[in-house]
Amino acid sequence: MELTEREYRLATLFFSKVGELLSRAHLLELVWGIKGDVSTRTVDTHVSRLRRKLELDGRHGLRLRSVYQSGYRMEVCSTSAVEQRVAN
């Protein structure tokens, strides 16, 4: 699977900060190098693509979760949640 440079940079950030909330503004500054108070859907679009490409929906033990009006957090799913998904 191929990731764009920005998707790779986002993935690196999320995997290095599992459990931490990363705000959209912070991601814009770190990945795009632009001031975080800009109103844009760029981060959301890239995160959505990254989530789909890397299957970060919990089925493999990790979930990239949207935190309403705040940003995103990479979460480790419990084993039972993963097993339950596999069983269904």
Residues 31-68 have pLDDT tens digits of: 998 886 767 788 999 999 999 999 999 989 999 999 99
pLDDT at 83: 53
Q: For residue 82, what pLDDT band results from cuts at 50, 70 and 90?
A: very low
CA 23/CA 69 separation, integer angstroms: 9
Cα 49 to chain centroid distance, Å, stands at 9
Q: Parse the chain into domains and list their residue ranges.
A: 5-87
Average pLDDT, the chain: 86
Give DSSP secondary structure letters for 37-83.
Answer: T---SHHHHHHHHHHHHTT-BSTTSEEEEEETTTEEEEEEPPHHHHH
CATH number of 5-87: 1.10.10.10
